[in-house]
Amino acid sequence: MLPRPRLPQLKQPSNLSLPLNRVQHRGESFSPDATIFSPEGRHGYRPRRPLFSFFFNLMRSLESYADDARKLRAMGYNCAQCVLMPFDDVTGLDRGLAARLASGLGAGLGAKGEICGVVNAMAIAQGFDKGEAPSDKVASMKCAGGLASQFASCTGGRLRCADLKQKGAAMSCDALIMKGIEILHAHFAEQYGA
């Protein structure tokens, strides 16, 4: 993993304990109107939202994310892309990068019928939220497992695409995408108090 670029520190008057135009986030200093990571860093991993938007309940509505997913599905994107791409404002992933990351996950990992792309996309999205350091690994895996369990509870315990697409399956791929959007939105809303 590439190291984060260091931002230059601004000079401040000696009578101030914190700069008026800088904030601390995860040990680094940022200006309030800046995005969390600089454009030079992380190859497309930079939120489009200002840093403070997470703290002021500016997460979009569930219907907004669902509308994005429907539009992406109509354009021909696979299930994983339709779940990961709308959450670009929360994960910090550029939509193009999110599309490339999830492109091989549709139809059960390379059309092999394995774990549903919706579940894989939810795991990726939450990983960008909380899986940065090696010490975050256990918490990230528990969270991904929890999201997968919520999904499985809606599908009769099935996570494999081949099982979900069997004749007589209760939910279509579009319905599974909407369920994934709903689960992921609830997860992020709980995280950020939205």
Q: pLDDT tens, 42-52?
A: 444 444 444 44
**Least confident range of 48-57, 141-150, 156-165:** 48-57
Confidence of residue 29 (pLDDT cuts 50, 70, 90): very low
Domain boundaries, the chain: 62-192
Q: According to the model, what pLDDT value does residue 5 have?
A: 64
Cα dihedral 60, 66, 69, 73 in deg (nearest 10): -160
CA distance between the termini of the chain = 31
The 3-state DSSP class for residue 24 equals strand
What is the rounded radius of gyration, in angstroms, for the C-alpha atoms of the chain?
A: 19
DSSP string covering 65-88: HHHHHHHHHHTT--HHHHHHGGGH
Which residue would you say has higher pLDDT here, 10 or 86? 86
Q: pLDDT tens, 32-87?
A: 444 444 444 444 444 444 444 444 445 788 899 999 999 999 999 999 999 999 98
Which residue would you say has higher pLDDT here, 75 or 167? 75
* Stated pTM of the model: 0.68
Please provide the average confidence, as pLDDT, over all residues in the chain: 75
Q: According to the model, what pLDDT value does residue 121 have?
A: 93
- Whether 184 and 59 have beta carbons less than 8 Å apart is answered as no
